[in-house]
Amino acid sequence: MELLVEKAISSTSSPQGPGDALRRVFECISSGIIFKGSAGLLELCEKDPFDTLATMTDQQCEDITSSAQFAFRLLAFRQIYKVTGMDPLPQMSQHFNIHDNRKRRRDSDGVDGFEAEGEKRQKKL
C-alpha cells in the first residue's frame, strides 16, 4: 500500500493537500495501475527488482480497481464521508453559500431599468 501511495503522489508535478492526494491515489488505482500488463510496483529496497503485485490474482486486481473507481466517483460527487466512513459535515445554509452565483429573480415594476415579465412577453410578440 505504501509503495502504491508513494508512486501515485510522486507522479504529480506539484505538492498536493491531503484531499487531492487521496483523490490522486484512487485515480491511479482506477486507471488500472495494478493489472498485470502495467509497469507494476517494484520494490526498490530489494537487491533484485521485485514486483510486489505479482502474487495477486486477476480477480483481486479487478476487484480492487472496481472499488477504487467507485470510491473515486464518490469523491468526485463530494461524498468523501462515504469513503472514509465518517459522519457527513453539516450542510451550509443556502444564504451563506459562496458558490451559488445565480441571481435571484426580482419582482419589478420597471424601476431601476428592469421591466416586468408581462412587458417582456408583450415585446417578444
Residue-range domains of the chain with CATH: 1-87 (1.10.1410.40)
| Predicted TM-score (pTM) of this structure | 0.63
Residues in the chain: 125
Q: Assign 3-state DSSP to the chain and report helix, strand, coil percentages, each to 5.
A: 50, 0, 50
Burial class (CB in 10 A: 0-12, 13-18, 19+), 42: middle
Position 5 pLDDT exceeds 90: no
**Predicted confidence (pLDDT) per residue in 90-111, tens digit:** 876 666 555 555 666 666 555 5
The answer to whether residues 42 and 51 touch, using CB atoms and an 8 Å cutoff, is yes
Q: Where are the alpha helices (DSSP H) in the chain?
A: 2-10, 18-30, 58-76, 80-84, 117-124
